[in-house]
C-alpha cells in the first residue's frame, strides 16, 4: 500500500502525463487543419510556353571563338553593339561601333553591305535581333550574324574589351601607374624612348601643351590606336589627373601596358614651374 506522500506524487505524475497528451493532441489537430486548408493547385494540361529563338533564316550565329579567328585574319567585319549608349561606354568589344536598337534607322548609313555584320546584344534581346535581321535582310544585307551569348558571354571568356575607366574599380586602378612632374622632367632630359600624348581637345592643345606631345583626344584613342608607335613608353596627360586616368585604362585595354599618367596633369606641370609650348 502507498502512503499519503507516494499517492500524491503518483497523482502529480498522472496529471503531467495527461497534460502532455493534450498538448500533443492539440498540435496534431492544428497541423492537420492547416494542411487541409491549403488550396490545391489547379491542374492544367497546357504545354509550357515556348521560348523565342533566333530566326536562322534571316541571320547566322557566330561564337566568340569564331569571331576571334575572323578578327585575327583581318576579314571585313563590322561589330555592331546594339546595347544602350551607357552600357557601351562603360565597356565594349574593341573596335565595335554602337548603334542602339532604339536608333537602328542609321544602320545603313554606317555599315557597308559587303561587310560581315556581327550583332552584339545584351541578354534577352532575341526579339530585337529577329526584328533587326528581318529589316536588314529586306535592305540587301546578306552577311548577318549575331554573337552567341552576346557581350556578357564574350566578357566572361576574357576576350578583349575596352572600358571607360572607373576610378572606384580596383581592376582599373591596377592598370594605371603615375609619374610626378619632377620625375617626368628628369626622364625627358635623359630618355629618348618616350611618347607624350595630350588627350585634351584640339583647341586646348593648340593653346599650350608639353613640348613634343602629340594630340589624340580621349574619345579618339580607340579609333586612332594604330597611330601610336608600338614599344614606346607612353606618358599621357590631361588638364588634371582624372581624364588621364580614363585614357590610361583605355590604352591598357588596347594593349599599351607601358602607359604612365602625369599626376596633376598639365595644371600640375605648370604649378611646378615647368614650361609649355604655345
The domains found in the chain, sorted by start residue, are 60-163 (3.40.250.10), 170-271 (3.40.250.10)
- Tell the residue number behind the cell numbers 493547385, with chain if given: 41
Looking at residue 217, the DSSP 8-state letter turns out to be: -
Q: Is the pLDDT of residue 8 over 60?
A: no
* Main-chain phi, psi angles of 251, to 5 degrees: -65, -40
What is the per-residue pLDDT across 78-115, written as a single tens digit (0 to 9) for each?
A: 999 999 999 999 999 999 999 998 887 777 777 778 88
pLDDT score recorded for residue 269: 96
**What mean pLDDT do residues 117-140 have?**
86
In the predicted model, is pLDDT for residue 246 greater than 50?
yes
Nearest to 269 by CA among 238, 248, 247: 238
The rounded distance, in Å, linking the Cα atoms of 210 and 184 is 11
Residue 134 DSSP class: H
pTM comes to 0.73
pLDDT digits (tens, 9 = 90+) for 55-80: 888 889 999 999 999 888 877 899 99
pLDDT at 89: 92
State the Cα–Cα distance between residues 91 and 253, nearest whole angstrom.
10
pLDDT over 60 (residue 253) = yes
Residue 151 has pLDDT above 50, yes or no: yes
The whole-angstrom separation of Cα 112 and Cα 204 is: 35
Farthest CA pair distance, the chain: 121
- Look-up of cell digits 602625369: 262
Looking at residue 209, what DSSP letter applies?
B
pLDDT for residue 118: 93
Q: Is the pLDDT of residue 29 over 60?
A: no
Per-residue pLDDT, averaged over 126-150, amounts to 88
Cα separation, 7 vs 195, whole angstroms:
105
CA distance 274 to 200: 19
262 touches 184 (CB < 8 A): yes
Q: Could you read off the pLDDT of 155-187 as tens digits, one per residue?
A: 999 999 999 998 889 999 999 999 999 999 999
Higher pLDDT, 33 or 47: 33
* pLDDT beyond 70 at 226: yes
Amino acid at each position: 500500500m502507498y502512503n499519503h506522500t507516494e499517492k500524491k506524487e503518483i497523482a502529480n505524475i498522472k496529471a503531467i502525463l495527461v497534460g502532455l497528451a493534450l498538448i500533443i493532441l492539440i498540435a496534431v489537430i492544428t497541423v492537420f487543419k492547416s494542411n487541409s486548408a491549403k488550396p490545391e493547385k489547379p491542374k492544367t494540361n497546357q504545354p509550357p510556353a515556348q521560348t523565342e529563338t533566333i530566326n536562322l533564316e534571316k541571320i547566322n550565329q557566330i561564337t566568340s571563338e569564331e569571331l576571334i579567328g575572323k578578327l585575327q585574319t583581318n576579314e571585313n567585319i563590322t561589330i555592331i553593339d546594339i546595347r544602350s549608349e551607357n552600357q557601351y561606354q562603360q565597356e565594349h568589344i574593341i573596335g565595335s561601333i554602337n548603334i542602339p536598337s532604339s536608333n537602328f534607322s542609321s544602320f545603313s548609313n554606317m555599315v557597308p553591305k559587303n561587310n560581315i555584320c556581327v550583332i552584339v546584344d545584351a541578354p534577352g534581346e532575341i526579339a530585337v535581333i529577329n526584328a533587326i535581321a528581318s529589316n536588314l535582310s529586306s535592305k540587301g544585307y546578306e552577311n548577318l550574324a549575331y554573337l552567341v551569348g552576346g557581350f556578357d558571354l564574350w566578357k566572361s571568356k576574357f576576350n578583349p574589351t575596352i572600358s571607360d575607366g572607373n576610378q572606384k574599380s580596383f581592376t582599373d586602378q591596377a592598370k594605371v601607374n603615375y609619374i610626378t612632374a619632377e620625375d617626368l622632367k628628369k626622364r625627358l632630359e635623359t630618355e629618348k624612348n618616350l611618347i607624350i600624348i595630350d588627350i585634351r581637345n584640339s583647341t586646348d592643345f593648340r593653346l599650350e601643351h608639353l613640348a613634343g606631345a602629340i594630340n589624340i583626344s580621349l574619345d579618339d584613342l580607340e579609333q586612332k590606336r594604330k597611330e601610336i608607335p608600338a614599344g614606346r613608353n607612353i606618358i599621357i596627360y590631361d588638364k588634371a589627373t582624372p581624364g588621364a586616368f580614363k585614357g590610361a585604362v583605355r590604352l591598357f585595354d588596347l594593349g599599351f601596358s607601358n602607359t604612365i599618367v602625369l599626376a596633376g596633369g598639365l595644371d600640375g606641370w605648370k604649378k611646378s614651374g615647368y614650361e609649355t609650348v604655345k
